[in-house]
A and B are shown apart, each in its own frame.
Chain A
Amino acid sequence: MQKILFQVFVIVSLCFALWFALSKVDWVSLFKLDQVADTTEKAMGTIFWDLYSKSALEITSEAAIRPLDSIVTKICISNGIDKRQITLHLIKSDEINAFALPNRHLVINTGLIATSDHEAELCGVIGHEIAHMELNHVMKKLIKEVGLSALISMTTGGGAEQIKEIARMLSSSAYDRNLEKEADIKAVEYLKNANINPAFFADFLYRLGESEPTNSQYFSWISTHPDSKERAAYIIASIGQQNTNFSPVLSTDAWDQLKGFATN
Chain B
Amino acid sequence: MNFQNFAYEPSEHEAEKASNSYLMSLIAIIAGLPLPIINLLATLIFYIGNRKSTYFVRWHCTQALLSQISLLFVNSTGFWWTVSILFTDETVSGNYIAYIITAFVINVVEFIVTISAAIKTRKGIHVEWWLLGDLTNIICRR
Contacts and interface: CB of A to CB of B under 8 A. Distances in A.
Interface stretch (A4-12, A39-47, A245-253): A4-12
A27 B134 contact: no
Contact of B134 (A3, A20, A33): A3
B95 A23 contact: yes
A179 B89 contact: yes
Given A18-B105, A23-B95, A28-B92, A144 B87 contact: yes
A13 to B, nearest CB: 13
Nearest to A33: B92
Interface in B81-102: 86-89, 91-95, 97-99, 101-102
Main secondary structure of the interface of B (DSSP, over half): helix
B138 interface: yes
A260 B92 CA distance: 47
B10 to A, nearest CB: 25
A144 B89 contact: yes
B112 interface: no
A27 B99 CA distance: 11
Interface in A21-75: 22-23, 25-28, 31, 33
A7 to B, nearest CB: 4
A88 to B, nearest CB: 27
A149 to B, nearest CB: 10
A19 B130 CA distance: 21
A15 interface: yes
Interface of B: 74, 86-89, 91-95, 97-99, 101-102, 105-106, 130-131, 134-135, 138
Nearest to B89: A140
B98 A25 contact: yes
Given A15-B106, A23-B98, A7 B92 contact: no
Nearest to B131: A7
Contacts of A140: 89, 91
A147 interface: yes
B88 to A, nearest CB: 7
A23, A31, A140 pick with most chain B CB within 10 angstroms: A23
Contacts of B74: 15
Interface in A169-200: 178-179
Nearest to A28: B94
B98 A4 contact: no
A15, A20, A179 pick with most chain B CB within 10 angstroms: A15
A19 B94 contact: no
B64 to A, nearest CB: 17
